[in-house]
Protein backbone atom coordinates (compact mmCIF):
# COMPACT_ATOMS: atom_id res chain seq x y z
CA UNK A 1 0.00 0.00 0.00
CA UNK A 2 2.84 2.39 0.88
CA UNK A 3 4.48 1.63 -2.46
CA UNK A 4 1.26 2.47 -4.23
CA UNK A 5 0.89 5.79 -2.41
CA UNK A 6 4.45 6.79 -3.36
CA UNK A 7 3.98 5.77 -6.98
CA UNK A 8 0.72 7.77 -7.07
CA UNK A 9 2.49 10.80 -5.59
CA UNK A 10 5.16 10.47 -8.24
CA UNK A 11 2.55 10.41 -10.99
CA UNK A 12 0.95 13.54 -9.53
CA UNK A 13 4.33 15.29 -9.50
CA UNK A 14 4.90 14.29 -13.10
CA UNK A 15 1.55 15.74 -14.06
CA UNK A 16 2.55 19.00 -12.38
CA UNK A 17 5.86 19.16 -14.31
CA UNK A 18 4.03 18.53 -17.57
CA UNK A 19 1.35 21.09 -16.85
CA UNK A 20 3.86 23.76 -15.81
CA UNK A 21 5.58 23.32 -19.19
CA UNK A 22 2.27 24.34 -20.77
CA UNK A 23 2.78 27.84 -19.39
CA UNK A 24 5.71 28.19 -21.82
CA UNK A 25 3.64 27.14 -24.83
CA UNK A 26 3.82 29.91 -27.46
CA UNK A 27 0.65 28.87 -29.27
CA UNK A 28 2.33 27.95 -32.58
CA UNK A 29 2.43 24.56 -34.27
CA UNK A 30 6.24 24.74 -34.43
CA UNK A 31 6.32 25.23 -30.68
CA UNK A 32 3.87 22.41 -30.04
CA UNK A 33 5.67 19.93 -32.33
CA UNK A 34 9.32 20.95 -31.84
CA UNK A 35 9.45 23.20 -28.76
CA UNK A 36 10.50 25.99 -31.18
CA UNK A 37 13.85 24.21 -31.61
CA UNK A 38 14.99 25.82 -28.38
CA UNK A 39 16.19 22.77 -26.43
CA UNK A 40 19.69 23.03 -24.94
CA UNK A 41 22.32 20.31 -24.32
CA UNK A 42 21.20 19.13 -20.87
CA UNK A 43 17.54 18.80 -21.78
CA UNK A 44 18.48 17.11 -25.09
CA UNK A 45 20.72 14.46 -23.54
CA UNK A 46 18.21 13.71 -20.78
CA UNK A 47 15.17 13.63 -23.04
CA UNK A 48 16.81 11.57 -25.81
CA UNK A 49 18.26 9.11 -23.30
CA UNK A 50 14.95 8.86 -21.44
CA UNK A 51 13.12 8.32 -24.71
CA UNK A 52 15.57 5.69 -25.95
CA UNK A 53 15.46 3.75 -22.70
CA UNK A 54 12.15 2.14 -21.96
CA UNK A 55 11.02 -0.80 -19.87
CA UNK A 56 13.22 -2.72 -22.27
CA UNK A 57 16.27 -1.23 -20.50
CA UNK A 58 15.10 -1.77 -16.92
CA UNK A 59 12.56 -4.55 -16.71
CA UNK A 60 13.56 -6.32 -19.94
CA UNK A 61 17.30 -6.27 -19.22
CA UNK A 62 16.96 -7.70 -15.73
CA UNK A 63 14.52 -10.31 -17.03
CA UNK A 64 16.88 -11.28 -19.83
CA UNK A 65 19.89 -11.37 -17.46
CA UNK A 66 17.84 -13.75 -15.30
CA UNK A 67 17.46 -15.94 -18.40
CA UNK A 68 20.85 -15.71 -20.13
CA UNK A 69 23.22 -14.04 -17.65
CA UNK A 70 25.70 -11.19 -18.03
CA UNK A 71 25.89 -11.46 -21.83
CA UNK A 72 22.85 -9.21 -22.07
CA UNK A 73 24.98 -6.18 -21.13
CA UNK A 74 27.25 -6.68 -24.12
CA UNK A 75 24.44 -7.48 -26.52
CA UNK A 76 22.73 -4.17 -26.05
CA UNK A 77 24.29 -1.76 -23.53
CA UNK A 78 27.90 -1.67 -24.64
CA UNK A 79 26.97 -2.04 -28.30
CA UNK A 80 24.62 0.93 -27.84
CA UNK A 81 27.38 2.96 -26.17
CA UNK A 82 29.23 2.78 -29.48
CA UNK A 83 26.50 2.47 -32.09
CA UNK A 84 23.87 4.88 -30.68
CA UNK A 85 26.43 7.63 -30.48
CA UNK A 86 27.76 6.83 -33.95
CA UNK A 87 24.20 7.31 -35.19
CA UNK A 88 23.91 10.64 -33.31
CA UNK A 89 27.20 11.78 -34.78
CA UNK A 90 26.94 10.61 -38.37
CA UNK A 91 23.17 10.60 -38.90
CA UNK A 92 21.34 12.55 -36.18
CA UNK A 93 23.25 15.79 -36.49
CA UNK A 94 23.01 15.74 -40.26
CA UNK A 95 19.26 15.09 -40.16
CA UNK A 96 18.98 17.95 -37.69
CA UNK A 97 20.78 20.25 -40.14
CA UNK A 98 18.64 19.17 -43.10
CA UNK A 99 15.49 19.31 -40.97
CA UNK A 100 16.24 22.77 -39.71
CA UNK A 101 17.14 24.03 -43.16
CA UNK A 102 13.96 22.78 -44.80
CA UNK A 103 11.59 23.06 -41.85
CA UNK A 104 10.77 19.38 -41.40
CA UNK A 105 8.83 18.03 -38.43
CA UNK A 106 8.64 14.33 -39.33
CA UNK A 107 10.83 11.74 -41.04
CA UNK A 108 8.24 11.16 -43.73
CA UNK A 109 8.40 14.80 -44.84
CA UNK A 110 12.14 14.37 -45.26
CA UNK A 111 11.92 11.09 -47.20
CA UNK A 112 9.17 12.40 -49.46
CA UNK A 113 11.36 15.33 -50.48
CA UNK A 114 14.66 13.49 -50.59
CA UNK A 115 13.32 10.75 -52.84
CA UNK A 116 10.77 12.90 -54.71
CA UNK A 117 8.05 10.44 -53.89
CA UNK A 118 4.70 10.95 -52.30
CA UNK A 119 4.08 7.21 -52.51
CA UNK A 120 7.18 6.48 -50.40
CA UNK A 121 5.61 8.52 -47.59
CA UNK A 122 2.38 6.60 -47.94
CA UNK A 123 4.27 3.31 -47.85
CA UNK A 124 6.39 4.28 -44.87
CA UNK A 125 3.56 5.68 -42.79
CA UNK A 126 1.80 2.39 -41.86
CA UNK A 127 5.17 0.67 -41.39
CA UNK A 128 6.46 3.25 -38.94
CA UNK A 129 3.15 3.38 -37.09
CA UNK A 130 3.01 -0.42 -37.10
CA UNK A 131 6.46 -0.63 -35.54
CA UNK A 132 6.04 2.16 -32.99
CA UNK A 133 2.81 0.72 -31.58
CA UNK A 134 4.25 -2.66 -30.45
CA UNK A 135 7.32 -0.86 -29.16
CA UNK A 136 5.04 1.40 -27.22
CA UNK A 137 3.12 -1.62 -25.95
CA UNK A 138 6.32 -3.00 -24.39
CA UNK A 139 6.21 0.06 -22.13
CA UNK A 140 2.62 -0.48 -21.10
CA UNK A 141 3.19 -4.20 -20.50
CA UNK A 142 6.24 -3.39 -18.39
CA UNK A 143 4.32 -0.90 -16.25
CA UNK A 144 1.53 -3.40 -15.67
CA UNK A 145 3.96 -6.11 -14.56
CA UNK A 146 5.77 -3.78 -12.18
CA UNK A 147 2.69 -2.39 -10.47
CA UNK A 148 1.11 -5.81 -10.20
CA UNK A 149 4.18 -7.30 -8.53
CA UNK A 150 4.62 -4.38 -6.18
CA UNK A 151 1.03 -4.14 -4.98
CA UNK A 152 0.30 -7.81 -4.44
CA UNK A 153 -1.94 -8.28 -1.39
CA UNK A 154 -2.71 -4.56 -1.03
CA UNK A 155 -6.43 -4.82 -1.93
CA UNK A 156 -7.49 -8.46 -1.35
CA UNK A 157 -11.21 -7.64 -1.28
CA UNK A 158 -11.26 -5.13 -4.08
CA UNK A 159 -9.19 -7.14 -6.56
CA UNK A 160 -9.43 -10.84 -5.58
CA UNK A 161 -8.68 -11.99 -9.14
CA UNK A 162 -5.15 -10.57 -8.96
CA UNK A 163 -4.43 -11.63 -5.34
CA UNK A 164 -5.14 -8.08 -4.20
CA UNK A 165 -2.77 -6.43 -6.69
CA UNK A 166 -3.80 -3.45 -8.78
CA UNK A 167 -5.11 -5.12 -11.96
CA UNK A 168 -3.28 -4.54 -15.26
CA UNK A 169 -6.24 -2.77 -16.90
CA UNK A 170 -6.26 -0.14 -14.14
CA UNK A 171 -2.50 0.42 -14.24
CA UNK A 172 -2.60 0.87 -18.01
CA UNK A 173 -5.49 3.30 -17.71
CA UNK A 174 -3.73 5.48 -15.13
CA UNK A 175 -0.38 5.48 -17.00
CA UNK A 176 -2.04 6.35 -20.30
CA UNK A 177 -4.12 9.04 -18.58
CA UNK A 178 -1.14 10.77 -16.96
CA UNK A 179 0.98 10.73 -20.11
CA UNK A 180 -1.96 11.93 -22.17
CA UNK A 181 -2.57 14.93 -19.92
CA UNK A 182 0.95 16.31 -20.04
CA UNK A 183 1.61 15.80 -23.74
CA UNK A 184 -1.85 17.03 -24.65
CA UNK A 185 -1.23 20.32 -22.86
CA UNK A 186 2.52 20.78 -23.12
CA UNK A 187 3.29 19.29 -26.55
CA UNK A 188 6.85 18.17 -27.15
CA UNK A 189 8.16 20.66 -24.58
CA UNK A 190 5.99 18.90 -21.97
CA UNK A 191 7.48 15.57 -23.03
CA UNK A 192 11.04 16.94 -22.91
CA UNK A 193 10.59 18.41 -19.43
CA UNK A 194 8.85 15.33 -18.12
CA UNK A 195 11.50 13.07 -19.69
CA UNK A 196 14.29 15.02 -18.07
CA UNK A 197 12.66 14.67 -14.68
CA UNK A 198 11.95 11.01 -15.30
CA UNK A 199 15.48 10.24 -16.50
CA UNK A 200 16.86 11.69 -13.25
CA UNK A 201 14.37 9.61 -11.28
CA UNK A 202 15.02 6.28 -12.98
CA UNK A 203 18.79 6.60 -13.01
CA UNK A 204 18.93 7.49 -9.33
CA UNK A 205 16.39 4.76 -8.54
CA UNK A 206 18.43 2.15 -10.37
CA UNK A 207 21.54 2.96 -8.38
CA UNK A 208 19.60 3.05 -5.09
CA UNK A 209 17.91 -0.28 -5.91
CA UNK A 210 21.24 -1.84 -6.69
CA UNK A 211 22.81 -0.61 -3.49
CA UNK A 212 19.86 -1.69 -1.30
CA UNK A 213 19.41 -5.08 -2.91
CA UNK A 214 23.11 -5.91 -2.73
CA UNK A 215 23.17 -4.87 0.90
CA UNK A 216 20.14 -7.09 1.71
CA UNK A 217 21.81 -10.01 -0.05
CA UNK A 218 24.80 -9.68 2.26
CA UNK A 219 26.91 -7.41 0.09
CA UNK A 220 28.17 -7.47 -3.47
CA UNK A 221 30.52 -10.39 -2.97
CA UNK A 222 27.97 -12.57 -1.15
CA UNK A 223 25.29 -11.89 -3.77
CA UNK A 224 27.58 -12.93 -6.61
CA UNK A 225 29.01 -15.87 -4.66
CA UNK A 226 25.53 -17.39 -4.45
CA UNK A 227 25.26 -17.25 -8.21
CA UNK A 228 28.71 -18.76 -8.57
CA UNK A 229 27.52 -21.70 -6.45
CA UNK A 230 24.06 -22.21 -7.95
CA UNK A 231 24.22 -20.82 -11.50
CA UNK A 232 27.85 -20.14 -12.53
CA UNK A 233 26.84 -20.21 -16.20
CA UNK A 234 25.10 -16.84 -15.63
CA UNK A 235 28.45 -15.19 -14.81
CA UNK A 236 29.84 -15.77 -18.30
CA UNK A 237 28.41 -16.07 -21.77
CA UNK A 238 29.38 -19.68 -22.41
CA UNK A 239 26.60 -21.52 -24.15
CA UNK A 240 23.88 -19.08 -23.08
CA UNK A 241 24.59 -16.85 -26.05
CA UNK A 242 26.42 -17.67 -29.27
CA UNK A 243 29.31 -15.62 -30.68
CA UNK A 244 27.37 -14.90 -33.85
CA UNK A 245 24.34 -13.63 -31.90
CA UNK A 246 26.56 -11.44 -29.77
CA UNK A 247 28.03 -9.92 -32.90
CA UNK A 248 24.70 -9.58 -34.69
CA UNK A 249 23.21 -7.65 -31.77
CA UNK A 250 25.47 -4.80 -32.92
CA UNK A 251 22.93 -4.10 -35.66
CA UNK A 252 20.04 -3.58 -33.23
CA UNK A 253 21.13 -0.14 -31.88
CA UNK A 254 21.12 1.20 -35.46
CA UNK A 255 17.36 1.28 -34.96
CA UNK A 256 17.71 4.56 -33.05
CA UNK A 257 18.47 6.22 -36.39
CA UNK A 258 15.02 5.38 -37.71
CA UNK A 259 12.82 5.86 -34.63
CA UNK A 260 10.37 8.60 -35.62
CA UNK A 261 10.16 9.85 -32.02
CA UNK A 262 13.95 10.21 -31.76
CA UNK A 263 14.00 12.07 -35.09
CA UNK A 264 11.51 14.53 -33.62
CA UNK A 265 13.62 14.97 -30.48
CA UNK A 266 16.75 15.60 -32.57
CA UNK A 267 14.94 18.39 -34.36
CA UNK A 268 14.26 20.19 -31.06
CA UNK A 269 18.01 20.90 -30.66
CA UNK A 270 18.92 24.57 -30.57
CA UNK A 271 22.13 24.06 -32.58
CA UNK A 272 24.50 21.33 -33.75
CA UNK A 273 26.71 21.86 -30.72
CA UNK A 274 23.71 20.96 -28.53
CA UNK A 275 24.52 17.35 -29.48
CA UNK A 276 28.01 17.46 -27.94
CA UNK A 277 26.91 16.54 -24.43
CA UNK A 278 24.78 13.63 -25.68
CA UNK A 279 27.75 12.23 -27.59
CA UNK A 280 29.99 11.98 -24.54
CA UNK A 281 27.40 11.30 -21.84
CA UNK A 282 25.35 8.60 -23.60
CA UNK A 283 27.88 5.73 -23.15
CA UNK A 284 28.29 6.59 -19.47
CA UNK A 285 24.53 6.78 -18.96
CA UNK A 286 24.16 3.38 -20.63
CA UNK A 287 26.61 1.91 -18.17
CA UNK A 288 25.01 3.54 -15.11
CA UNK A 289 21.55 2.33 -16.06
CA UNK A 290 22.21 -1.16 -17.43
CA UNK A 291 24.93 -2.53 -15.16
CA UNK A 292 22.84 -2.50 -11.95
CA UNK A 293 19.81 -4.01 -13.71
CA UNK A 294 21.85 -6.80 -15.30
CA UNK A 295 23.51 -7.66 -12.01
CA UNK A 296 20.16 -7.66 -10.20
CA UNK A 297 18.79 -10.01 -12.87
CA UNK A 298 21.78 -12.34 -12.48
CA UNK A 299 21.51 -12.30 -8.67
CA UNK A 300 17.78 -13.07 -8.96
CA UNK A 301 18.63 -16.53 -10.30
CA UNK A 302 20.01 -17.57 -6.90
CA UNK A 303 18.81 -15.02 -4.32
CA UNK A 304 16.81 -16.53 -1.46
CA UNK A 305 14.70 -15.30 1.43
CA UNK A 306 15.70 -16.16 5.02
CA UNK A 307 13.52 -19.30 4.85
CA UNK A 308 15.60 -20.54 1.92
CA UNK A 309 12.93 -20.08 -0.75
CA UNK A 310 13.89 -18.40 -4.00
CA UNK A 311 12.86 -14.76 -4.32
CA UNK A 312 12.10 -15.29 -7.99
CA UNK A 313 10.85 -18.86 -8.21
CA UNK A 314 11.09 -20.69 -11.53
CA UNK A 315 7.97 -20.11 -13.57
CA UNK A 316 7.43 -16.55 -12.32
CA UNK A 317 5.74 -14.39 -14.96
CA UNK A 318 8.24 -12.77 -17.34
CA UNK A 319 9.23 -9.14 -16.69
CA UNK A 320 8.60 -9.38 -12.94
CA UNK A 321 12.14 -10.26 -11.78
CA UNK A 322 13.24 -6.71 -10.97
CA UNK A 323 9.97 -5.82 -9.27
CA UNK A 324 10.05 -8.99 -7.16
CA UNK A 325 13.62 -8.32 -6.03
CA UNK A 326 12.75 -4.72 -5.14
CA UNK A 327 9.56 -5.71 -3.37
CA UNK A 328 11.01 -8.57 -1.33
CA UNK A 329 14.33 -6.97 -0.41
CA UNK A 330 13.58 -3.32 0.33
CA UNK A 331 11.27 -1.37 2.64
CA UNK A 332 7.86 -0.35 1.31
CA UNK A 333 8.91 3.32 1.11
CA UNK A 334 12.03 2.58 -0.90
CA UNK A 335 10.08 -0.02 -2.83
CA UNK A 336 7.62 2.71 -3.80
CA UNK A 337 10.43 5.07 -4.86
CA UNK A 338 12.05 2.36 -6.93
CA UNK A 339 8.68 1.44 -8.43
CA UNK A 340 8.32 5.10 -9.38
CA UNK A 341 11.75 4.90 -11.01
CA UNK A 342 10.69 1.95 -13.11
CA UNK A 343 7.51 3.75 -14.14
CA UNK A 344 9.64 6.81 -14.98
CA UNK A 345 11.75 4.80 -17.43
CA UNK A 346 8.65 3.41 -19.05
CA UNK A 347 6.71 6.65 -19.28
CA UNK A 348 9.63 8.70 -20.58
CA UNK A 349 9.43 6.70 -23.79
CA UNK A 350 5.67 6.35 -23.97
CA UNK A 351 5.07 10.10 -24.07
CA UNK A 352 7.38 10.71 -27.04
CA UNK A 353 5.99 7.71 -28.89
CA UNK A 354 2.38 8.81 -28.42
CA UNK A 355 3.33 12.34 -29.39
CA UNK A 356 5.22 11.43 -32.54
CA UNK A 357 2.35 9.28 -33.77
CA UNK A 358 -0.04 12.20 -33.25
CA UNK A 359 2.38 14.47 -35.12
CA UNK A 360 2.67 12.01 -38.01
CA UNK A 361 -1.09 11.61 -38.43
CA UNK A 362 -1.50 15.38 -38.43
CA UNK A 363 1.46 16.33 -40.61
CA UNK A 364 1.96 13.41 -42.96
CA UNK A 365 -1.65 12.52 -43.61
CA UNK A 366 -4.18 15.24 -42.85
CA UNK A 367 -2.18 18.41 -43.53
CA UNK A 368 -0.24 16.80 -46.39
CA UNK A 369 -3.30 15.55 -48.29
CA UNK A 370 -5.88 18.20 -47.40
CA UNK A 371 -3.56 21.15 -47.98
CA UNK A 372 -1.30 23.16 -45.72
CA UNK A 373 -3.24 26.35 -46.37
CA UNK A 374 -6.41 24.89 -44.86
CA UNK A 375 -4.84 24.48 -41.44
CA UNK A 376 -3.57 27.40 -39.44
CA UNK A 377 -1.43 26.80 -36.34
CA UNK A 378 -4.37 26.59 -33.98
CA UNK A 379 -6.17 24.00 -36.10
CA UNK A 380 -3.00 21.94 -36.50
CA UNK A 381 -2.44 21.80 -32.76
CA UNK A 382 -6.09 20.90 -32.19
CA UNK A 383 -5.85 18.15 -34.79
CA UNK A 384 -2.66 16.74 -33.25
CA UNK A 385 -4.31 16.68 -29.82
CA UNK A 386 -7.28 14.81 -31.23
CA UNK A 387 -5.00 12.20 -32.81
CA UNK A 388 -2.98 11.85 -29.62
CA UNK A 389 -6.15 11.03 -27.66
CA UNK A 390 -7.13 8.49 -30.31
CA UNK A 391 -3.71 6.81 -30.36
CA UNK A 392 -3.50 6.60 -26.58
CA UNK A 393 -6.97 5.00 -26.53
CA UNK A 394 -6.13 2.44 -29.21
CA UNK A 395 -2.78 1.59 -27.58
CA UNK A 396 -4.48 1.09 -24.24
CA UNK A 397 -7.02 -1.31 -25.75
CA UNK A 398 -4.25 -3.25 -27.52
CA UNK A 399 -2.30 -3.55 -24.26
CA UNK A 400 -5.21 -5.48 -22.76
CA UNK A 401 -4.43 -8.38 -25.12
CA UNK A 402 -2.22 -11.29 -24.08
CA UNK A 403 1.29 -9.99 -23.28
CA UNK A 404 4.47 -11.39 -24.82
CA UNK A 405 7.91 -11.18 -23.20
CA UNK A 406 9.03 -7.56 -23.28
CA UNK A 407 12.49 -8.38 -24.52
CA UNK A 408 11.24 -10.48 -27.43
CA UNK A 409 8.61 -7.97 -28.50
CA UNK A 410 11.17 -5.16 -28.26
CA UNK A 411 13.73 -7.04 -30.33
CA UNK A 412 11.19 -7.56 -33.14
CA UNK A 413 10.41 -3.82 -33.24
CA UNK A 414 14.11 -3.00 -33.25
CA UNK A 415 14.58 -5.50 -36.08
CA UNK A 416 12.11 -3.57 -38.21
CA UNK A 417 13.62 -0.18 -37.41
CA UNK A 418 17.17 -1.42 -37.95
CA UNK A 419 16.19 -2.76 -41.34
CA UNK A 420 15.08 0.73 -42.36
CA UNK A 421 18.50 2.12 -41.44
CA UNK A 422 20.01 1.70 -44.95
CA UNK A 423 17.21 3.95 -46.22
CA UNK A 424 18.13 6.82 -43.92
CA UNK A 425 21.90 6.36 -44.07
CA UNK A 426 22.09 6.15 -47.85
CA UNK A 427 19.73 9.11 -48.19
CA UNK A 428 22.37 11.22 -46.45
CA UNK A 429 25.56 9.79 -47.88
CA UNK A 430 24.76 8.37 -51.32
CA UNK A 431 23.70 10.78 -54.07
CA UNK A 432 22.93 7.89 -56.37
CA UNK A 433 20.26 6.37 -54.10
CA UNK A 434 16.96 6.61 -55.93
CA UNK A 435 13.24 6.72 -55.36
CA UNK A 436 12.81 3.22 -56.82
CA UNK A 437 15.62 1.93 -54.62
CA UNK A 438 14.02 3.46 -51.54
CA UNK A 439 10.55 2.10 -52.34
CA UNK A 440 11.91 -1.36 -53.14
CA UNK A 441 14.00 -1.37 -49.98
CA UNK A 442 11.04 -0.42 -47.76
CA UNK A 443 8.80 -2.99 -49.45
CA UNK A 444 11.38 -5.75 -49.05
CA UNK A 445 11.98 -4.76 -45.42
CA UNK A 446 8.27 -5.03 -44.67
CA UNK A 447 7.82 -8.31 -46.54
CA UNK A 448 10.85 -10.01 -45.00
CA UNK A 449 9.91 -8.78 -41.53
CA UNK A 450 6.36 -10.16 -41.82
CA UNK A 451 7.61 -13.52 -43.10
CA UNK A 452 10.20 -13.87 -40.35
CA UNK A 453 7.78 -12.69 -37.65
CA UNK A 454 5.27 -15.30 -38.78
CA UNK A 455 7.93 -17.98 -38.99
CA UNK A 456 9.07 -17.05 -35.48
CA UNK A 457 5.63 -17.74 -34.03
CA UNK A 458 4.61 -14.05 -33.84
CA UNK A 459 7.17 -13.30 -31.15
CA UNK A 460 6.41 -16.38 -29.07
CA UNK A 461 9.77 -18.01 -29.89
CA UNK A 462 12.40 -15.93 -28.07
CA UNK A 463 15.27 -17.88 -29.62
CA UNK A 464 14.06 -17.86 -33.21
CA UNK A 465 16.80 -18.02 -35.86
CA UNK A 466 16.75 -18.13 -39.64
CA UNK A 467 19.70 -19.84 -41.33
CA UNK A 468 21.28 -19.75 -37.87
CA UNK A 469 21.13 -15.96 -37.78
CA UNK A 470 19.01 -13.51 -35.84
CA UNK A 471 16.17 -12.09 -37.99
CA UNK A 472 17.69 -8.60 -37.81
CA UNK A 473 20.73 -9.69 -39.84
CA UNK A 474 18.61 -11.20 -42.63
CA UNK A 475 16.23 -8.25 -42.73
CA UNK A 476 18.95 -5.58 -42.60
CA UNK A 477 21.06 -7.03 -45.40
CA UNK A 478 17.98 -7.74 -47.56
CA UNK A 479 17.05 -4.08 -47.22
CA UNK A 480 20.60 -2.82 -47.91
CA UNK A 481 21.11 -5.09 -50.90
CA UNK A 482 17.77 -4.11 -52.45
CA UNK A 483 18.43 -0.41 -51.97
CA UNK A 484 21.83 -0.58 -53.64
CA UNK A 485 20.91 -2.85 -56.54
CA UNK A 486 17.63 -1.14 -57.44
CA UNK A 487 19.20 2.32 -57.12
CA UNK A 488 21.99 1.36 -59.50
CA UNK A 489 19.48 -0.02 -62.01
CA UNK A 490 17.21 3.02 -61.99
CA UNK A 491 17.46 6.68 -62.91
CA UNK A 492 19.35 8.94 -60.53
CA UNK A 493 17.39 11.62 -58.62
CA UNK A 494 16.76 14.90 -60.40
CA UNK A 495 19.34 17.65 -60.31
CA UNK A 496 16.84 19.80 -58.43
CA UNK A 497 16.65 17.31 -55.58
CA UNK A 498 20.38 16.78 -55.48
CA UNK A 499 20.82 20.55 -55.23
CA UNK A 500 18.40 20.66 -52.34
CA UNK A 501 20.14 17.97 -50.30
CA UNK A 502 23.62 17.74 -51.76
CA UNK A 503 23.81 20.85 -53.90
CA UNK A 504 26.78 21.27 -56.17
CA UNK A 505 30.29 19.97 -55.69
CA UNK A 506 32.38 16.90 -56.26
CA UNK A 507 30.40 13.75 -55.54
CA UNK A 508 33.09 12.24 -53.37
CA UNK A 509 32.84 15.02 -50.75
CA UNK A 510 30.47 14.82 -47.79
CA UNK A 511 27.03 16.03 -48.82
CA UNK A 512 26.57 18.72 -46.20
CA UNK A 513 30.01 20.14 -46.82
CA UNK A 514 29.13 20.30 -50.51
CA UNK A 515 25.94 22.11 -49.69
CA UNK A 516 27.73 24.68 -47.60
CA UNK A 517 30.40 25.21 -50.23
CA UNK A 518 27.75 25.76 -52.88
CA UNK A 519 25.91 28.23 -50.66
CA UNK A 520 29.09 30.17 -50.09
CA UNK A 521 29.78 30.31 -53.82
CA UNK A 522 26.24 31.51 -54.49
CA UNK A 523 26.16 33.89 -51.56
Partner 1 sequence: MKQAVYLALVLLALLHQDFWFWDDPSLVLGFLPIGLAYHLVYCVVTALVWYLALKYAWPEDLESFAAAKDSDEVNRQ
Q: Which residues bind partner 1 (CB under 8 A)?
A: 70-71, 73-74, 77-79, 81-82, 85-86, 89, 93-94, 96-98, 100-102, 219-221, 223-224, 228, 232, 235-238, 243, 246-247, 250, 271-273, 276, 279-284, 286-287, 291, 294-295, 298, 496, 499-500, 503, 510, 512-513, 515-516, 519, 522-523
Nearest to 170 by CA among 151, 185, 197, 183: 151
Shortest reach from residue 500's CB to partner 1, in Å: 6
Residues 192 and 266: beta-carbon distance below 8 Å: no
Beta bridge partners of 469: 466
Nearer to partner 1, 82 or 484 (CB): 82
Nearer to partner 1, 105 or 166 (CB): 105
Nearer to partner 1, 104 or 111 (CB): 104
Angle at Cα 24 formed by Cα 21 and Cα 26, nearest 5°? 130
Give the integer Cα–Cα distance in Å for 314 and 87.
Answer: 39
Q: Collapsing DSSP states into helix, strand and coil, what is residue 466?
A: strand
Shortest reach from residue 520's CB to partner 1, in Å: 8
Strand segments (E) across 24-165: none
Give the integer Cα–Cα distance in Å for 507 and 510.
Answer: 8
Shortest reach from residue 437's CB to partner 1, in Å: 23
Nearer to partner 1, 83 or 183 (CB): 83
Residue 167 CB: number of other CB atoms within 10 A?
A: 17
Shortest reach from residue 144's CB to partner 1, in Å: 29
Give the integer Cα–Cα distance in Å for 233 and 146.
Answer: 27
Nearer to partner 1, 154 or 503 (CB): 503
Nearer to partner 1, 272 or 305 (CB): 272
Shortest reach from residue 222's CB to partner 1, in Å: 9
Counting DSSP H helices and E strands in the chain, the numbers are: 25, 0
Nearer to partner 1, 416 or 493 (CB): 493
Nearer to partner 1, 376 or 519 (CB): 519
Q: Collapsing DSSP states into helix, strand and coil, what is residue 469?
A: strand
Residues 396 and 231: beta-carbon distance below 8 Å: no
Residue 468 CB: number of other CB atoms within 10 A?
A: 9
Shortest reach from residue 260's CB to partner 1, in Å: 20
Shortest reach from residue 250's CB to partner 1, in Å: 7
Nearest to 172 by CA among 355, 350, 14, 390: 350
Shortest reach from residue 336's CB to partner 1, in Å: 27
Shortest reach from residue 306's CB to partner 1, in Å: 21
Nearest to 359 by CA among 175, 119, 104, 139: 104
Angle between helices 118-150 and 168-216 (to 10 degrees): 60
Nearer to partner 1, 100 or 379 (CB): 100
- Compute the CA torsion angle 63, 318, 410, 245 (nearest 10 deg): 50
Cα–Cα distance list, 111 to 73, 108, 334 (Å): 34, 5, 47
Amino acid sequence: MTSLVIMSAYLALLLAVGLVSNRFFRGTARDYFLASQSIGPVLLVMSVFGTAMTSFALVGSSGEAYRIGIGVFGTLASWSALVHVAVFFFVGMRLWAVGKRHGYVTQIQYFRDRYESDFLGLLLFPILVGLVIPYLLTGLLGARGVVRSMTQGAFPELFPATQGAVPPWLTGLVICGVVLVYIFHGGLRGAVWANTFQTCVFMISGVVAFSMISSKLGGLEAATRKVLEAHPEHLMRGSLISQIDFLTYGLIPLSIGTFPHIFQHWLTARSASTFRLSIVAHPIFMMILWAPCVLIGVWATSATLPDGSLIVPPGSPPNTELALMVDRLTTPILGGLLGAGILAAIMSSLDSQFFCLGTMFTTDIVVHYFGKERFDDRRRVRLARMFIVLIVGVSYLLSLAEPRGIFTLGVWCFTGFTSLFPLVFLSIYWRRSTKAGAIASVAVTAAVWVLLFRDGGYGSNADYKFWGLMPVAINFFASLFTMIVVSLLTRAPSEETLRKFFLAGPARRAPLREGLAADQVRG
